[in-house]
Amino acid sequence: MYALGIDIGTTNIAGVLVDLENGDVAAEKVIANDFGVDTGLDFAAVSDAEAIAAAARRIFGELSEAVGTCNIASVGFTGQMHGIVYVGKDGSALAPFVTWQDLRGTLKYKDGLTYSEYVSSVTGMKVAPGYGAVTYFYDKVNGLVPEGAEKLLTIYDFAAIELTGGFKPCIHPSSAASIGLFDIKHNCFDRDAILKLGLDPSLFPDVAEDHRVIGLLSGRIPVTVGIGDNQAGFIGSVRDHDSSVLVNIGTGSQVSLVTERLDAPEGIEIRPFISGKYLAAGSALCGGKSIAVLADFLKDIANAFGVRGADVYSVIDNAPGLGNTTSPLKVDTRFMGTRSDPDITGSITGITTSNLTLGNLAAGFMDGISGELFDMYKLMAELYGPKAVVAGAGGALRKSNALRARVERDFGGKVLIPRFGEEAAFGAALYGAVGAGYFKDIAEAAQFVNY
């Protein structure tokens, strides 16, 4: 039997089939998430929700055909957090999916505050731009909430509903917290905070318990409630949850570890995990995206010299003098700001007449990516205690030997990267298999994570 996990990511939509006998990936399918919708608005980042759900259905169809639908034991969903889809009574999308990259929350509202700042000031809860609650508030103020909206959901919860054909609008605490205005201590949306903003509490979905089965695919395959990609990626990358820290560098980047505490250092977010525990997570909006910024710069130079099609990523990772020493160039890789301050920009300092080399520049970018995460981890380690194992995940960390070497240098240990890619989809598959009863708990399922 096999467990299927589907991850609706920012760049790709991926599915993996996990063999429940040995944990091997029997088959996988990746579809580019190029379903963006051009609204003509500079601040908007929206996608076609129905097209995304159709891609998830295609993944299910192709992978189940590979092993036979009768051999699929469970389906688990995960995906990019924070964004929302407005759905009607039948579960259909009433508007495009507004992603976590949407910037309407950064626009000025009143009293000198942005929409995001206003939401935070009124409720006393930190709600960053890109969070669904801020999107909903902006849309409410500007008359953009679609008529007939029944619930707002994450994109992966919406896709699960589309595939099962039943409308049970409940979401996991990890998903609820990513929307905002969520009371993590009491495991529910904060009704008073919602009302203070003039929003409708009924649009916020019910919060489900761990591993809840929300519907059946093909009339017999249980589909569990989706979980956030940070949580799914942790499950799919970490074998021993209590002794490990996870460094995930994809488009964005995160450092996270399991804790039973609700207090957190400045800049660290406490997110619901599973089994009554939490993830302490530090997030950077630019991870691998920072390397893409450097790559685009080098492409521009190459094009100016008439060189087309150069493999600039290979050039970056093998730049002369890159080494593993700290670069004399100090690169602040916060090119997209931070959750708390979207106006922060990146910078390159420490330039002299002799040190502006490709090797130093590449090293500086990688120092910046790893260093931002390590600074967050140091705050976490002081409060929760250091972790003995460093697990790694994300496309940028897998592809770049130089970046991985810097993470190992900063975190002080070998980075253990799972044998199989698509860690979030793998984690969603394990999570779903627990929900379907094929493992007694997530600790048993985690033994399938192999490095």
pLDDT of res. 73: 95
Kindly state the helix (H) or strand (E) to which residue 359 belongs, with its residue range: helix 358-384
CB 45 within 8 A of CB 106: no
Q: Tally the C-alpha atoms within 13 A of residue 430's C-alpha that lie toward its C-beta.
A: 29
CA-CA distance, 424 to 165, in Å (whole number)?
24
E strands present in 58-197: 72-79, 85-87, 97-98, 108-110, 113-114, 151-153, 170-171, 182-183, 188-189
Average pLDDT, consecutive stretches of 10 residues, N- to C-terminus, the chain (451 residues)? 95 95 93 93 94 96 90 95 94 94 94 96 94 97 96 96 81 96 95 97 93 86 93 95 94 92 93 94 90 94 90 91 86 86 90 95 96 96 96 91 94 94 94 93 92 90
CB 117 within 8 A of CB 329: no
Identify residue 11 by its one-letter amino acid code: T
Residues of the chain with CATH 3.30.420.40: 2-225+421-448, 238-417
CA-CA distance, 2 to 21, in Å (whole number)?
8
| DSSP conformational letter for 1 | -
pLDDT of res. 167: 66
Say yes or no: domain 2-225+421-448 is CATH 3.30.420.40: yes
CA nearest neighbour of 89 among 192, 161, 191, 16: 161
**DSSP track, 309-328:** S--HHHHHHT-TT--SSPPS
pLDDT of res. 447: 92
0.75 cut: is pTM over it? Answer: yes
CA-CA distance, 248 to 287, in Å (whole number)?
9
pLDDT of res. 219: 84
CA nearest neighbour of 77 among 193, 195, 204, 208: 208
Helix (H/G/I), strand (E/B), else coil: 269? strand
Record: fold of 238-417: Nucleotidyltransferase; domain 5 (3.30.420)
